[in-house]
Amino acid sequence: MISANRTTTILPVRDLDRARSFYENTLGLHADKAWHEGSFLFSEDGHNGIELMLKPDGSPSGNTELSFEVEDLTAEIAALERNGVTFEDYDLPGLRTVDHIAEDDHMRAAWFTDTEGNILCLHQPVA
């Protein structure tokens, strides 16, 4: 069954060293290994991963590329802000943030970009 296999999210990056530093030092992800020439893999559990793939002419999609589930969204935002992460604020039909956080009956979420312009999200399910 497909869900039993390893999953890897592949993010395009224009500068692999800059992006690797952001994911490793700013976000605190575990550096796994150079996956192959022009890419680098992060994996916390050895099963799922985030691969940064060098694409000098590539560009982000403009949509959320990846979302990290967290237990305490407010604390995670504060920690990442201390590391220099800038969170986005939105006031759009169907999406409005207050203090960087959008909320509905099921989820709280906040967005930021990596050094390459990929949109990343933190989300916390609401019990």
- Domain membership flag for residue 59: no
- Domain membership flag for residue 96: yes
- CA angle, 106 then 10 then 21, to 5°: 95
Q: What residues pair up with 69 in beta bridges, in sequence order?
A: 123
Q: Are residues 45 and 78 in the same domain?
A: no
CATH of the domain at 14: 3.10.180.10
At 127, is the pLDDT very low, low, confident or very high (cuts 50, 70, 90)? confident
Per-residue pLDDT, 1: 55
Tokens representing residue 51 in the block: 């691969």
Kindly report, residue by residue over 86-102, the tens digit of the pLDDT.
Answer: 999 999 998 999 999 99
Q: Are residues 50 and 68 in the same domain?
A: no
- Domain membership flag for residue 98: yes
Kindly report, residue by residue over 6-64, the tens digit of the pLDDT.
Answer: 788 999 999 999 999 999 999 999 887 766 788 888 887 766 889 999 999 988 888 99
The residues, ordered by sequence, that sit 6+ positions from 72 with a Cβ below 8 Å of its Cβ are: 124
Kindly report, residue by residue over 14-28, the tens digit of the pLDDT.
Answer: 999 999 999 999 999
What are residue 122's phi and psi, to 5 degrees?
-110, 135
- The residue segments making up the domain with residue 19 are 2-54
